[in-house]
Amino acid sequence: MLDDIKKRLGQITNPATGKNFNEENRWQDIRMDGAKLVAQYNRDGISPAEKRVIEGEIQKALDGIVGVENIMVKTTSTQSQDVFKALDQKPTPAQKVPVETQPAQIKAGHGTVGNKKSVPGVGKVIAIGSGKGGVGKSTFTANLAMSLSKKGYKVGVIDADIYGPSLPMIFGKRDEKPRSNSEKKIIPVEAFGIKFMSFGFFINEQDPVIWRGPMLGGVISQFLFDVDWNGTDYLLIDLPPGTGDIQLSMVQNAHVDGTIIVSTPQDIALLDAKKGLEMFKKLNLPVIGMVENMSSFICNHCGTEHHIFGEGGVSHAVPALGVDLLGQIPLEIELRTGSDNGVPYMSQDAFEGRPVWKGFMDVAGKVENFFGGGIAPQPSKPGLFSKMFGLGK
């Protein structure tokens, strides 16, 4: 059995390099201690986020051979700064090389990649990311929610952006305080038929936000699993901008069915967007596609289309990236004012048929197609998927 285990562990890929552990000679010790498997590897050059990916890989490789509760993985490193980079701290002299880090015990339900939980009562979970802030990710998320809702789906949104939670503003619910029901589940706030939950409800807008990664993982987990999302067809997650540890830890607990990257046409934003795409791919999350926001500006007076940030940056890039372009959303003043005033653009029927409106409906249609045909609906869920398949009560 030990030989089999060694063979399997040797095949694990180091996400930092793409090579396997045997090729890199990473394993220092693999042995059985009674029923427990003790394994130790050298984690030089491996970030905390990549380490968590590896933990998930280990768990997957040993599935059916060694139970999760019997796996103990230790790591050693001669580069202590790796460990502290994520915490933004300098190593103290007492933590000189080589460092034997804390034994990392893999436990069920504690956020390892191989151990994802489905969000109860939800049809499909879609994470929406961007390489950087200010590309219109929240505006997009809120209006995609409205567009899917227009198609008849029940939609929920989690605003996981701790740096700038903006959904309470966009949905006109800044002063709301969420309550919990008799089963101690948090009841999502509802506006325009969309249920949503936001960090914004729990923090003072004036306070600097200094949440730490591990705490954040806990809160997002609460938003996913302790909120009553029952009957939701699509649950959209507005992730914080960027591709670091926080984003990774947020999506690795839950079963995510699809991801969308929002980008603007400028090269820099696109470079960042590529990183976002890589992050989702590394986590083996299905990518639905990319959205180009602020693709052009259509003049209210003359109707001419101006490509302020260059033409078609995202559409030129997507073939090489191997993803679909889901839609292009032009710049329109009413899209911003709608968000600022708490009346989302796609809730205002007067805009029907405009290029922005069309852009959002295009994306909603592509999302629908992505999941269309043969989705097994969850029998417990009285949302549209269930109704469509005649399972809802």
Ligand X SMILES: Nc1ncnc2c1ncn2[C@@H]1O[C@H](COP(=O)(O)OP(=O)(O)O)[C@@H](O)[C@H]1O
Interacting residue with ligand X among 16, 37, 318, 335 (CB under 6 A)? 335
> What string marks each residue from 125 to 164 as x (binds ligand X by CB under 6 A) or -?
-----x--xxxxxxx-------------------------
CA angle centred on 215, ends 166 and 138, rounded to 5°: 20
Binding characters for ligand X, 221-250, by CB under 6 A (x = yes): --------------------x---------
Task: Give CA separation, 250 vs 117, 158, 214, in Å.
Answer: 13, 11, 9
Nearer to ligand X, 166 or 249 (CB): 166
* Segment interacting with ligand X (CB under 6 A) among 39-47, 57-65, 307-315, 326-334: 326-334
According to DSSP, the residues that pair with 205 across neighbouring strands are none
Report whether 276 contacts 130 (CB < 8 A): yes
**Residue 275 CB partners (closer than 8 Å, separation 6+):** 131, 243
- Buried-state track 311-321, b at ≥16 Cβ within 10 A, e below 16: eebbeebbeeb
Q: Are 162 and 211 in contact (CB under 8 A)?
A: yes
Check: CB of residue 243 under 8 Å from CB of residue 166: no
User: Which partner, Mg ion, ligand X, none, binds residue 218 by CB below 5 to 8 Å per kind?
Assistant: none
Name the minimum Å distance from CB 141 to Mg ion: 8
Of 332, 371, 383, 386, the residue at the interface with ligand X (CB under 6 A) is 332
CB of 134 or CB of 193, closer to ligand X = 134
Among 336, 352, 369, 389, binds ligand X (CB under 6 A): 336
Place of tokens 């740096």: 163
Report which residue type is found at 2: L
Least distance CB 287 / Mg ion (angstroms): 20
- Look at residue 336 and give the partner it binds from ligand X, Mg ion, none, a contact being a CB closer than 5 to 8 Å depending on partner kind: ligand X
Residues that bind ligand X (CB under 6 A): 130, 133-139, 166, 241, 293-294, 329, 331-332, 335-336, 339
